[in-house]
Amino acid sequence: MGNNGKVVLAYSGGLDTSVCIRYLQTLHKLDVITVTVDCGQHDNFKDIERKAEAIGSIKHLYIDAREEFARNYVVPSIKANGLYQGKYPLATALARPLIAAKAVEVAEKEGATAVAHGCTGKGNDQIRFDVTMRALSPNLKIIAPIRDLNLTRDLEISFAKEQNIPISLEAKKYSIDMNLWGRALEGGKIEEADFEPPEEAFEFINFQNDKAGYVEIEFDKGIPVGVDGEHIPLVDLIQYVNDKAGAHGVGIIDHIEDRVVGIKSREVYEAPAAVAIIEAHKDLEKMVLTKHELAFKQIVDSQWSWLAYSGLWQDPLRADLDRFIDATQNRVSGKVRLKMEKGSLRVVGRESEYSLYRNNLATYEAGSTFDQSLAKGFVELWGLQSVIANSLTADLSIDRKNKKEVENEIKS
Ligand code: ARG
């Protein structure tokens, strides 16, 4: 065993990566070092270690990357209002480049010649892993057994049974990926686009709570720093908002998503913190950024989300966009109050020392400093081209029979 050297496998403890350990050993004759990167998934990491070793890992490493994930991946995404296709808060997409980077780091330290991951050839995750791994260490070989062997979930399950690899009950139902920023459910019945996922499929969402609740999020330069009046560390803050918003049923996303490989997929997510924090952040930006900044930033944000989604975290354009986004965040400081009730979420208040909102300009009451007489001339110039264009097309819309008469009328 292991006469071809060592491979470092990004190991989650799930079905795909468990099957990978055995395939890497038997097919590739490699010694397998497993690495589990903690990005805030609620797993029992001792169990995962035991499982890896039972299947055949020669060395297992646990890396607590929660703080790094929050600081270097989630925060830039908050600043960019990161939502793919306007909906998906990118939880899995953000964690992949970090997990890939950790696997590469370990591979270099351990003198491995290859890195491996458990992605299929049908999803986005393979792109995120491969591109990051190649960008960071071009000489490492990348092995993706599930993709290479064209395995389906059924085949994996029967291989696992045959090899005495333990599988969880959940794995038989769905494929789940979770981290601090959200939880993705795929596979099983969820693949039927018309099937409503049962309440039990969700971990954070309370469907029974009828009461309304509030959460106030404080931002400093686009970064959430406080919640409900207290400054707390970022990871705790995200968890706190996740629990609180989830308790009011907020945070389910169910949509049809365009994968990079061309497949349309039905995706179900629960991401209470991401949904609430991005909503609050967007609202604060509206208060402090000019309409020109907002309009341009929207284009940048959607390009940023696309890069993160499509596995191009390492592309220099992402860092370029980050510099622009960071520059816009200098004034994104203040507080936003959200109301949550039976799955609904809305902003009910906001304040900022950089607010461009001026009550004395906006008010319809006495005390307004806005000089209405200036508006008349402005409105005339504003609509100038539209009015002229309409006078021409009004003529075009008259049917041909009447046209001659109208022309004569104008002449006379
Ligand atoms: N569709 C999402 C994405 O591409 C979620 C992927 C979830 N991954 C998984 N292995 N279940 O980011």
Rounded CA gap, 183 and 252, in Å?
10
Ligand 1 atom with the smallest distance to the CA of 93 is 12
Tens digits of per-residue pLDDT, 285-315?
A: 999 999 999 999 999 999 999 999 999 999 9
Rounded CA gap, 360 and 370, in Å?
7
- Nearest CA to 107 out of 131, 71, 66, 138 is that of 138
Rounded CA gap, 336 and 328, in Å?
18
The CATH code belonging to domain 182-361 is 3.90.1260.10
- Residues 6 or more apart from 231 whose CB is under 8 A from it? 218, 225
Which amino acid type is present at position 188? Answer: G
Is any ligand 1 atom within 6 A of the Cβ of residue 185?
no
Ligand 1 centre and the CA of 140: distance in Å? 25
Ligand 1 centre and the CA of 124: distance in Å? 7
Ligand 1 centre and the CA of 272: distance in Å? 17
Q: What is the pLDDT of residue 276?
A: 99
Phi/psi-derived region of residue 90, left when phi > 0, alpha when psi is between -120 and 50, beta in every other case: left
Rounded CA gap, 286 and 297, in Å?
11
Contact of 213 with 341, CB cutoff 8 Å: yes
Q: What is the pLDDT of residue 396?
A: 65
Question: Which protein residue has the closest C-alpha to ligand 1 atom 10?
Answer: 177
Ligand 1 pocket test: pick from 96, 173, 177 the residue with the most ligand atoms within 8 Å of its Cβ.
177
The verdict on whether 158 is a catalytic residue reads no
Ligand 1 atom with the smallest distance to the CA of 257 is 1
Is any ligand 1 atom within 6 A of the Cβ of residue 175?
yes
Could you tell me the residue ranges of all domains in the chain? 6-65+82-179, 182-361, 369-412
Is any ligand 1 atom within 6 A of the Cβ of residue 170?
no
Ligand 1 pocket test: pick from 267, 270, 312 the residue with the most ligand atoms within 8 Å of its Cβ.
267
Q: What is the DSSP string of 341-358?
A: ETTEEEEEEEE-TT----
What would you report as the CA-atom Rg of the chain, rounded to the nearest whole angstrom? Answer: 27
The verdict on whether 125 is a catalytic residue reads yes
- Residues 6 or more apart from 31 whose CB is under 8 A from it? 1, 2, 5, 6, 7, 25, 58
Instruction: Tell me which of 175, 265, 305, 352 is the catalytic residue.
Output: 175
Ligand 1 pocket test: pick from 186, 253, 256 the residue with the most ligand atoms within 8 Å of its Cβ.
186
Ligand 1 centre and the CA of 85: distance in Å? 14
Rounded CA gap, 212 and 340, in Å?
6
The stretches in the chain having pLDDT less than 70 are: 1, 169-172, 395-404, 406, 412
Is any ligand 1 atom within 6 A of the Cβ of residue 92?
yes
Instruction: Tell me which of 125, 130, 283, 301 is the catalytic residue.
Output: 125
Q: What is the pLDDT of residue 404?
A: 67
Ligand 1 pocket test: pick from 96, 124, 265, 307 the residue with the most ligand atoms within 8 Å of its Cβ.
124
Rounded CA gap, 353 and 13, in Å?
47
Instruction: Tell me which of 22, 66, 96, 128 is the catalytic residue.
Output: 96
Is any ligand 1 atom within 6 A of the Cβ of residue 216?
no
Specify whether domain 6-65+82-179 bears CATH 3.40.50.620.
yes
Q: What is the pLDDT of residue 172?
A: 66
CA angle 15, 20, 26 (to 5 degrees): 135
The token pair at 165 is 């690899």
Contact of 335 with 116, CB cutoff 8 Å: no
- Nearest CA to 68 out of 187, 235, 194 is that of 235
The verdict on whether 175 is a catalytic residue reads yes
Helices (H), 111-143: 125-136
Please give the model's pTM, rounded to 2 decimal places.
0.93
Is any ligand 1 atom within 6 A of the Cβ of residue 16?
no
Rounded CA gap, 114 and 23, in Å?
14
The verdict on whether 322 is a catalytic residue reads no
- Nearest CA to 275 out of 308, 235, 242 is that of 242
Q: What is the pLDDT of residue 394?
A: 75
